[in-house]
Structure 1
Amino acid sequence: MILWSLLLGLALCILIGMPISFGLAAISLFIFVSADYALSPIVSEAVNGLDSFPLLAIPLFILVGEVMSEGGIAKRLVRLASAMVGFISGGLGQVAVLTSMFFGGISGSAVADASAVGSMMIDPMKRHGYSAPMATAIIVAASVVGIIIPPSIPMILFGVVTGTSISALFLAGIVPGILITLGLAVTTYLQSKKNGKAQPFDASELLAALKSAFLALLLPVIIVGGILSGVFTPTESAAIALLYALVVSMFVYRSLPLKRFFQLCIATGKLTGVVMLLLAFANVLAWLLTANMIPQQLVASLSALSDNMFVILGILSLFLLIVGFFMDLTPAMVILAPLMTPIVVKLGIDPVYFGVLMSFILGIGLITPPVGTVLYVGCGVGKVSMEHLVKSLLPFYSTLLLLLALFLAFPGLVLWFR
C-alpha cells in the first residue's frame, strides 16, 4: 500500500509538473492520514532530515562554483586546458572535456559545470568549425564528470541519506572520474576529426597558462588533498575551498566585486532551499517506509529473483537508467538510495561502490530526455533544439553506457583507493 502510494504519487507529480518536494509532502500527508498515524512525526522527521553537518557542504560547493565562474578562476582553467590539449585533433573539444574535469573537481555539480564551461567554450568552438549541436553535445556529455570527480554533491546526498562515509565516496570517485574523462576525450576526438580544428602546440603558452592558473589549480588540490590526508572533512573542505576562492577572486585576480558576491549568495540560497525542502520531506517518507519495513520487503523480493550480485546490480542499474529518464538526480537519489542500499549491502556489495555507481547512472539521466536538467541547460547556452542536441549526443551515450558496463564488470576500478 505505502510503496504503491509512493510510486503512483511520484508518477502523478511528474505528469502534472508538480515540484517533487511538494509531491513528497502531499504523498506523506496522504499516507499519514489514510493509515491513521499521528501527524507529529511529519514535522520532527522533516527537521531531523536537515539536522546534518555534511549537508552544509552542498551550499558551500554550489557557491564555490559560482565564485569560480564569476571570479576569473574558470577562465584560467580553460586557458590551461587549451594549452595542454588544444593541439589534438578537434582541440577545442578536448579543451572542453578537460575543463569540465577541472571545474568538476571544484564545484561538484553537473549543472554548474555545463553552464559555466558552456558559456565560455561553445561560441569559440562554433568559430573553429564545430556545429552548434556538436559543440553543445560535448559540453553536456562532459558535465557528467563533474559529479564523479570529487567533490560531488550527489555523493554528499548519498552519504547523508544512507550513512555512508562521504570521504570514502569522494576517494572512490577519482579513478572512475579520470576514466570517464578519457572515454569522453576519445569520443570527442573521433567526432571532432571532421568538425573541429586543432591549434599548434606552444610550449611558452603552456608555461604562461600554468603560471596564470597556478592558484586556481591549488583549489582541487586543497579539497582532495585535505580529505585524503585527513586534515579536514568534506564539509570543512567546502568551507576552506570557498574562503580560498573568495580570496583569490577578490584580492588576487580582483575580478569579483563584493556586490556581485552578495548576488551569488542569494542565488545559491534559492537553489539550496529547493534541495533542502526536498531532503526534509524525503526523510519523512523514508521514516514511513522504514517503519513499515519496505526496504526489508524489497530485499526479500529481489533476493528471491537471484542471489548473484551481478544480476541484482544489473537489475538495479537498468531501473536507475529508466528512472533517470523521468526524474531529476536529486529527488531520485534521496528517495531511492535508502531503499536500494540495504539490498546491495545484503549481497555483500560495498555501499561506497554502489554510491559512486548510482551517482554515475543518475548523472547519465541528467543528459537524457525528457527530464534531463543538463540537457535543458545545454539547449539554452548553446541555442540549439533538443532534437538536434540529442542526435549529436548519441555517440556519447554509447561511451557512457560502455563505461557503466566496465564499472559493473570490474568493481575494483571504483574501489581503487578503498
Structure 2
Amino acid sequence: MILWSILLGLFACIVIGMPISFGLAAICLFIFFYADYGLTTLVSQAVNGLDSFPLLAIPLFILVGEVMSSGGIAKRLVRLASAMVGFVAGGLGQVTVLTSMFFGGISGSAVADASAVGSMMINPMKQHGYSGPRATAIVVAASVVGIIIPPSIPMILFGVVTGTSISQLFMAGIVPGVLITIGLAMATYLQSKKTGAAQPFDFQELLAALKDSVLALLLPIIIVGGILSGVFTPTESAAVALLYALGVSMFVYRSLSLKGFFELCISTGRLTGVVLLLLAFASVLAWLLTANLVPQQIVVMLAELSQNKYVILGVLMLFLLIVGFFMDLTPAMVILAPLMTPVVVKLGIDPVYFGVMMSFILGIGLITPPVGTVLYVGCGVGKVSLEDLVKSLMPYYLTLILLLIAFLAFPGLVLWYK
C-alpha cells in the first residue's frame, strides 16, 4: 500500500510539474498522518539523512568544477586534448570527448561538464564544418563520462544512501569511464570522416600543451590517487582539490578574483540546497519503506518472476532506463537506490557493481527526452532545437546502450579491481 502511494504520488508530481523535493515532502506528510506516525520521527529521519560527512564532498566537488571552468584550468585541458587527438578524423569532436573525460575527472557532474565544455567547443566545431545539432550532440553525449569517471557526484549519493564504500565506487568507475570515452570517440570518428582533422599533428605543440596544463592534470591525479592510496577520504579529497584549484586559478594563472570566487560559492550553495532538501525527504521515504518491509516484498515478487539473478538484474536495469526518461538523476538515485540495493544484494549482486550501473543508466536518462537535464543545457549552450539535437544523438544512444549491454554481460569490466 505504501509503495503504491509513493509511486502514484511521484507520478502526480511529474504530471503537474511540482519539484520532486516538494512532492516527496507532501508524500511523506500524507503517509505519516495516514499511518499515525509521530512527526518527530519525520524530522529526526530527515536530519539523520543529512548528518553525513561524505555529503560534504558534493558541494565541494561542484565548487571545484566551477573554479576549474572560470579559473583557466578547463581551457588548458582543451588545449592538451586538441594536441593529443586533434589530428584524428573529426578532430574537434575527438577533442570534445577527451576534454569531457578530463573535466569529469575533476567536477563529477554531467551538467557542469556539458555547460563548461560546450561553451568552449561548440562554436569552434561549427566553424570547422560541424552542424550545430551534431556539435552539440557530441558535447551532450560525452557529458555522461563525467558521472562515471571518478570523482562522481551520483556515486557519492549512492554511497551515502546505501552505505556502500565511495572509494570502491570511484575505483570501479575508472575502467567503464575510459571505455565509454573510447566508445564515444569511435562513434564520433565513424561519423566524422568527411569532416577531416582539426589540425595536423604537431609534437612541439603537444609538448607545449602538456607543459602548460601540467598543473591542471595534477588535479585529477590528486583526487583519484589520494583516495586509492588511502591518504584521504573522498570528502577530504574534495577539500584538497578545491584548495589546489583555488591556488592554481588565483595565484598561478591569475584568472580568478576573490569576488569571482564568492559568486561561484553563491551559485554552488543554491544548487547544493536543492540536492540536500531532496536528500532529506528521500531519507524519510527510505525509512518508511524499510520499516514496512517493502524491499523484502520486492524480493519475493521478483523471485516469483524468475530464479535467475541476471534476468532480474536485466529487469531492474530496464526499469531504471525507463525511470531515467521521466525523472532527473538525483531524485531517482536518492529514492530508488535505498529501495533497490537491498534487493540486488540478497540476489548475490555486488552493491558496488550495481551503484556504477545505476549511475550509468540514470546518466543516459540525463540526455534523453522528455526530462533530460543535460539535453536542455545542450540546447541552451548550442542554440539548437530539442528535436534536431535528439536526432543527432541517435548514434550515441546506440553506442551507450551497447556499452551498457557489455557491462551487463561482463561484470569484470566494472569490478576489475577485485
Structure 2-normalised TM-score? 0.99
Listed one character per residue, the Cα deviations across residues 86-105 of structure 1 (whole Å, up to 9, x for unaligned) are 00000000000000000000
C-alpha distance in 2 between matches for 1:158 and 1:415: 17
Equivalence for 2:168:
168
Equivalence for 2:282:
282
Q: What's the offset of the Cα at 1:196?
A: 5.2
Query: For 1:181-260, what aligned pairs fall within 5 Å after superposition?
Result: 181-195=181-195, 197-260=197-260
Listed one character per residue, the Cα deviations across residues 240-297 of structure 1 (whole Å, up to 9, x for unaligned) are 0000000000000000000000000000000000000000000011111111111111
Counterpart residue type for residue 137 of structure 1: A
Counterpart residue type for residue 408 of structure 2: L
Secondary structure of the corresponding residue to residue 18 of structure 1: coil
Query: For 1:52-71, what aligned pairs fall within 5 Å after superposition?
Result: 52-71=52-71
Listed one character per residue, the Cα deviations across residues 370-416 of structure 1 (whole Å, up to 9, x for unaligned) are 00000000000000000000000000000000000000000000000
Q: What's the offset of the Cα at 1:300?
A: 1.1
C-alpha distance in 1 between matches for 2:24 and 2:52: 20
Query: For 1:73-222, what aligned pairs fall within 5 Å after superposition?
Result: 73-195=73-195, 197-222=197-222
Q: What's the offset of the Cα at 1:195?
A: 3.9
Secondary structure of the corresponding residue to residue 213 of structure 2: helix
Gap regions ≥5 residues in structure 2: none
Conservation of the 8 A alpha-carbon contact between 1:128 and 1:196: no
C-alpha distance in 2 between matches for 1:299 and 1:234: 32
Conservation of the 8 A alpha-carbon contact between 1:110 and 1:144: yes
C-alpha distance in 2 between matches for 1:198 and 1:254: 29
Secondary structure of the corresponding residue to residue 276 of structure 2: helix
Equivalence for 1:377:
377
Counterpart residue type for residue 9 of structure 1: G
Conservation of the 8 A alpha-carbon contact between 2:89 and 2:195: no
Counterpart residue type for residue 158 of structure 2: F
Listed one character per residue, the Cα deviations across residues 132-186 of structure 1 (whole Å, up to 9, x for unaligned) are 0000000000000000000000000000000000000000000000000000000
Report the count of equivalent residues. Answer: 418
Moved more, 338-347 or 76-85: 338-347
C-alpha distance in 2 between matches for 1:406 and 1:80: 30
Secondary structure of the corresponding residue to residue 348 of structure 1: coil
Equivalence for 1:42:
42
Q: What's the offset of the Cα at 1:308?
A: 1.1
Moved more, 88-97 or 339-348: 339-348
C-alpha distance in 2 between matches for 1:169 and 1:352: 6
Equivalence for 2:294:
294
Q: What's the offset of the Cα at 1:197?
A: 3.9
Conservation of the 8 A alpha-carbon contact between 2:86 and 2:197: no
Match status 1:404 vs 2:404: yes
Counterpart residue type for residue 50 of structure 1: L
Conservation of the 8 A alpha-carbon contact between 1:129 and 1:197: no
C-alpha distance in 1 between matches for 2:308 and 2:343: 12
Counterpart residue type for residue 29 of structure 1: L
Secondary structure of the corresponding residue to residue 262 of structure 2: helix
C-alpha distance in 2 between matches for 1:403 and 1:17: 32
Q: What's the offset of the Cα at 1:304?
A: 1.6
C-alpha distance in 1 between matches for 2:38 and 2:77: 54
C-alpha distance in 1 between matches for 2:196 and 2:355: 36
Secondary structure of the corresponding residue to residue 317 of structure 1: helix
Counterpart residue type for residue 202 of structure 1: D
C-alpha distance in 2 between matches for 1:84 and 1:195: 18
C-alpha distance in 2 between matches for 1:313 and 1:339: 14
Counterpart residue type for residue 402 of structure 2: L
Match status 1:362 vs 2:362: yes
Conservation of the 8 A alpha-carbon contact between 1:307 and 1:347: no
Equivalence for 1:12:
12
Conservation of the 8 A alpha-carbon contact between 2:366 and 2:372: yes
Conservation of the 8 A alpha-carbon contact between 2:88 and 2:196: no
Q: Which runs of 4+ in 1 moved over 2 A?
A: 194-198
Counterpart residue type for residue 120 of structure 1: M
Equivalence for 2:51:
51
Listed one character per residue, the Cα deviations across residues 13-59 of structure 1 (whole Å, up to 9, x for unaligned) are 00111000000000000011111221111111110000000000000
**CA RMSD between the two structures:** 0.7
C-alpha distance in 1 between matches for 2:132 and 2:151: 30
**Pair 59,169 (structure 1): closer, same or farther in 2 beyond 3 Å:** same
Listed one character per residue, the Cα deviations across residues 56-101 of structure 1 (whole Å, up to 9, x for unaligned) are 0000000000000000000000000000000000000000000000
C-alpha distance in 1 between matches for 2:306 and 2:350: 18
Equivalence for 1:395:
395
Counterpart residue type for residue 115 of structure 2: S
Equivalence for 2:331:
331
C-alpha distance in 1 between matches for 2:192 and 2:52: 45
Q: What's the offset of the Cα at 1:368?
A: 0.2
Gap regions ≥5 residues in structure 1: none
Structure 1-normalised TM-score? 0.99
